[in-house]
Amino acid sequence: MNWKTLDDMELNGKRVLTRVDINVPMENGHITDATRIERIATTINDIKSKGGSPILLAHLGRPNGKVNPKLSLQQLVPTLEITFKCPVFFTDNPSRDWINEKPSDAVILLENMRFNEMEEQNTPALAQFLATLGDIFCNDAFSTCHRSHASTVGVAKLLPSCAGHLMQIELNALKSALSNPLRPVGAVVGGAKVSSKLELLQNLVKKIDTLVIGGGMANTFLAAQGAELGSSLQEPDLHNIARSILATADAENCRIILPRDGRISTIFAAHAPNKIISLNTQTQLKPDEMVLDAGDKTTEDIITEFRSLKTLIWNGPLGAFEIEPFNTATMKASKAAAAFTLSGSLITVAGGGDTVAALNQAGVVDEFSYVSTAGGAFLEWMEGKKLPGIAALL
């Protein structure tokens, strides 16, 4: 992990092209959650304090290479100015001459990078043009690092480059969780489908000591071993792969924790009639019954496991956390993990859209050691893949 950081760069009098993630949720032209903007403030303020001028490269939504006024970054300027406590100069037609007319510590925002079809194609011409606008490149958007785009990879190869503070924190957190963790290290991997996290599971069982599998994924593993789970969400086509992952885990001395009880119902709806039953390879549910959450005994098993761990990675819920009471296991287990973190006995690193939503629901996002807002990039890192945006900084 040989990347440079802002602390390694001479910024005084420099225009610093800064790739940021301000892809915030919008509703009727208004930002509904400004967390991503707030999280880049440290990097922006540090560049300014060292005499540099941040030029923000970013995207909003999926315009697919076409100009879409509803996805213009101009609408974010008021929130950026409030967050950074300074004017923000916006342009959809940048040039070095226009930039040089601005104060030496100005914050400049360029229009949505993805309005240009050359961005996602990582066309050399666009990267070369962007490089003319600045003197240094700083990538502070880990969430885009799994994409080989002009504003993340192309320009990084043309200018002196470094990681921003948010990127540095994220990479250090991920390194401490998987590359060089305090042991024993465990992971919670949940969600609907094994197919969406196949590579993650295959990578983790070779690197960690304990793997908790939850959600619909757990149903596939139980069914692969003979359980009849009625109308529960599961993937019959992946039974062989599930058995293979279990065998690999056994060979690698990674202990798998699957639900030994579950909350079931015949209706997928909030407050539907439900009950908790034992789960094992001999389970025979009725055709209209489905497992929607881990049961109380399983939750206690998981919490007991947390007590023995030094590092925990969390990606995905343990049940249908969007609807009560099928969020019970996720809420209890995440609150327990947060309590162990606050006590200093556990390092917790979490990421993924559903994961962040679940931790927000439990009110423990700020109590985990680190929670990544990156979706695909977080998952690909955990899968052991090389991220182009990181490689470009080495």
* Each residue's pLDDT tens digit, 267-310: 999 999 999 999 999 999 999 999 999 999 999 999 999 999 99
Question: Beta strand 26-27 with 53-57: parallel, antiparallel or unpaired?
Answer: unpaired
Catalytic residue among 14, 19, 36, 147: 36
* pLDDT of 353 strictly over 80: no
Model confidence at 175, pLDDT cuts 50, 70, 90, reads confident
Instruction: For residues 54 and 110, give the distance between their C-alpha atoms in angstroms, rounded to a whole number.
Output: 11
DSSP state of 102: S
- What is the predicted pLDDT for the residue at 35? 86
Tokens standing for residue 154: 């192309």
Angle CA 346–39–315, to nearest 5: 40
**Segment of 158-167, 169-178, 192-201 carrying the highest mean pLDDT:** 158-167
List of E strands, the chain: 15-19, 26-27, 30-31, 53-57, 88-91, 107-110, 136-139, 161-163, 185-189, 210-213, 255-257, 261-265, 275-278, 290-294, 311-315, 347-351, 370-372
* pLDDT of 265 strictly over 70: yes
- Considering the domain delimited by 6-164, tell me its CATH architecture: 3-Layer(aba) Sandwich (3.40)
Q: What is each CA distance from 100 to 15, 53, 105, in whole angstroms?
A: 9, 10, 11
Tokens standing for residue 393: 């900084």
Out of 3.40.640.10, 3.30.390.50, 3.40.50.1260, 1.10.10.10, which CATH number does the structure's domain 181-382 have? 3.40.50.1260
Cβ partners under 8 Å of residue 318, min gap 6: 188, 190, 212, 214, 215, 293, 294, 299, 302, 329, 330, 333
337 class by beta-carbon count within 10 Å (0-12 exposed, 13-18 middle, 19+ buried): buried
Q: Active-site residue 29, yes or no? A: no
Mean pLDDT across the stretch 72-95? 97
- Tokens 């916006």 correspond to what residue? 90
Start-end of CATH 3.40.50.1260 domains in the chain: 6-164, 181-382
Q: Active-site residue 376, yes or no? A: yes
Q: Active-site residue 297, yes or no? A: no
Least confident of 11-20, 188-197, 280-289: 188-197
Q: Active-site residue 36, yes or no? A: yes
Amino acid at 296: D
Q: Would you say 205 and 245 are in contact if contact means Cβ atoms under 8 Å apart?
A: yes
- What is the predicted pLDDT for the residue at 317? 95
* pLDDT of 34 strictly over 80: yes
Catalytic residue among 61, 375, 376, 384: 376
Catalytic residue among 50, 297, 353, 384: 353
Kindly calculate the radius of gyration of the chain based on its CA atoms and give it in whole angstroms: 23
Catalytic residue among 193, 255, 260, 310: 193
Instruction: For residues 354 and 337, give the distance between their C-alpha atoms in angstroms, rounded to a whole number.
Output: 17
Write down the H helix ranges in 40-164: 41-49, 77-84, 96-100, 117-120, 124-133
